[in-house]
Amino acid sequence: MFSLIYCLIKDKLNLGHRRLVIETDNVEVVDILEGNSGSLQSNTLLSAIQHMLHLEWDVRIRKIGRDYNRDADALARASRGAPVGETIFDSIPSVVYNLITSCFLSA
């Protein structure tokens, strides 16, 4: 997870973005990123992430409820076992269709 966070932050910085919001339903990840946890203190990757988070830009790290992260979790589960890289679909994957449909039906 932290390697993904590192890549996303680095990408945003390289693109010149000056505002970043990180949302996760994992309270331990929030604590670690905010430096409120003794876990992984000597981790080189985490040190690099925390360095980037303290640069001159607006970064917010928020804990969100699991219900708000349901769609992202479903997409992550659906991608397990898929090849790394870009994938082009001829039609909308069923997991995406179901997420969109459930979103409209619950509105």
Report pLDDT digits (tens) over 40-99.
Answer: 777 888 889 888 988 888 988 888 888 877 777 777 777 778 777 777 778 888 887 887
| Whole-structure pTM value | 0.61
In the predicted structure, residue 107 carries a pLDDT above the cut 60: no
What type of residue is 68?
Answer: Y
Which part of the chain is CATH 3.30.420.10? 2-64
For the beta carbon of residue 33, count every other beta carbon within 10 angstroms: 21
Which homologous superfamily does the CATH classification assign to the domain defined by 2-64?
A: Ribonuclease H-like superfamily/Ribonuclease H (3.30.420.10)
**71 φ, ψ (degrees, to nearest 5):** -65, -45
